[in-house]
């Protein structure tokens, strides 16, 4: 399939028309592959997920990769237009995936298509499984690239990072996510005879302020302090005359590089000393951070300043992204994209101007990345 010669907005509108709900790329990856003539291809497809890596060696210098995903979340209800028929209205483009993250994909694909010289290797890595569990997505491709000696030196993930104004934030890292499942064991009894029971609700109540809402570390220049956030508490039989025999509590810790699962367990052990309980911890993602003085961070900040006039801040806020997989391989990675105020929402939208300027930022970055 041969793609037409499009500009970045034409390409963006085309990508938005693919109904690529996770993990189905709906043909979008084949389209992008046809659009980038002259690039070598590697496909790693597993578990119903397609992953595409395209690369071109221009010179002997660094390997710079642009990464992202073509999959989107289901549209849901409340749309005023068809979520997979993009509509331009008053300078805004409406469709599922406009912000998260086909704007970023269009911007870097167009950049790579138009690049004629570069002192190194340029590549892109795209998956159709970022919005899901990501088991067979970016991490599978990275494992393969390590095997064949093709891991990039630097990476830009084009997730939407800006908050209020285009250019105001790039992400240089992400917090991890620790999930906790805590069960406080007691002894069930009759509410009329509390002295004969051991009520875990009464036991835990005075300790909650010590358990959650406290800083587990002091944070640093890159991360805010890690805190335990209680997300669910339940116990009892939904009757008024039976005291519960156990209480179950769930929590989450968005952890910095200063707090680990072991630290969380030590904290719980200290607060609940003397109580009978069980604790299970799982790690959904691990924290990472790219050095503020890294070549890719400095180059991205200069390009944003050049195109937008904005002095961008460096952030590690927000949830997870595929950048965490880059960080795990020691790749210096940053994230930069359009404003993220309507991601996953009905009537998701971004502006024509933002997409054009994102393309210009990426083009400037490639031009100055020596």
- Catalytic residues, by residue number, are 71, 130
Q: Where are the beta strands (DSSP E) in 31-135?
A: 40-43, 51-57, 63-69, 87-89, 92-94, 121-127
What is the token pair recorded at 279? Answer: 């604790």
Q: Cβ(249)–Cβ(233) under 8 Å? A: yes
The string over 140-174, giving b where at least 16 C-beta atoms fall within 10 Å of a residue's C-beta and e elsewhere, is bbbebbeeeebbbbbbbbbbbbbeeebbbbbbbbb
Q: Cβ(231)–Cβ(251) under 8 Å? A: yes
Q: Cβ(29)–Cβ(92) under 8 Å? A: no
SS3 369: coil
Residues in the chain: 370
Q: Cβ(309)–Cβ(364) under 8 Å? A: no
């Amino acid at each position: 399939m041969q793609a037409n010669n499009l500009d970045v907005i034409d390409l963006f509108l085309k990508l938005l028309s693919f109904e690529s709900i996770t993990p189905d790329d709906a043909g979008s990856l084949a389209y992008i592959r046809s659009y980038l003539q002259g690039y070598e291809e590697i496909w790693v497809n597993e578990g119903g997920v397609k992953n595409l890596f395209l690369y071109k060696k221009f010179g002997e210098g660094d390997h710079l990769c642009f990464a992202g995903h073509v999959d989107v979340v289901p549209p849901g209800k409340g749309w005023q237009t068809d979520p997979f028929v993009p509509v331009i209205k008053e300078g805004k483009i409406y469709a599922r995936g406009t912000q998260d993250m086909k704007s970023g994909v269009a911007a870097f694909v167009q950049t790579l298509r138009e690049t004629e010289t570069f002192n190194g290797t340029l590549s892109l890595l795209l998956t159709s499984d970022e919005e899901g569990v990501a088991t067979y997505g970016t991490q599978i491709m990275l494992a393969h690239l390590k095997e064949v000696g093709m891991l990039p030196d630097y990476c830009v993930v084009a997730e939407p990072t800006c908050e209020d104004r285009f250019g105001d934030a790039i992400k240089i890292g992400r917090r991890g996510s620790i999930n906790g499942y805590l069960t406080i064991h007691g002894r069930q009894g009759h509410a009329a005879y509390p002295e004969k029971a051991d009520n875990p609700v009464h036991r835990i109540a005075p300790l909650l302020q010590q358990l959650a809402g406290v800083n587990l570390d002091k944070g640093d220049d890159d991360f805010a302090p890690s805190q335990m956030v209680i997300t669910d508490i339940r116990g009892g039989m939904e009757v008024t005359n039976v005291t519960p025999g156990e209480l179950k509590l769930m929590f989450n810790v968005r952890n910095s590089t200063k707090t680990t699962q072991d630290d969380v367990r030590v904290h719980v052990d200290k607060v609940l000393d003397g109580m009978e309980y069980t604790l299970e911890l799982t790690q959904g993602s691990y924290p990472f951070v790219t050095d503020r003085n890294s070549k890719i961070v400095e180059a991205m900040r200069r390009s944003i300043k050049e195109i937008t006039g904005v002095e961008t801040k460096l952030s590690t806020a927000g949830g997870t992204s595929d950048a965490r997989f880059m960080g795990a391989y020691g790749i210096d990675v940053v994230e930069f994209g359009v404003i993220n105020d309507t991601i996953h929402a009905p009537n998701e939208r971004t502006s024509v101007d933002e997409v054009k300027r994102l393309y210009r930022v990426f083009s400037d970055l490639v031009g100055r990345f020596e």
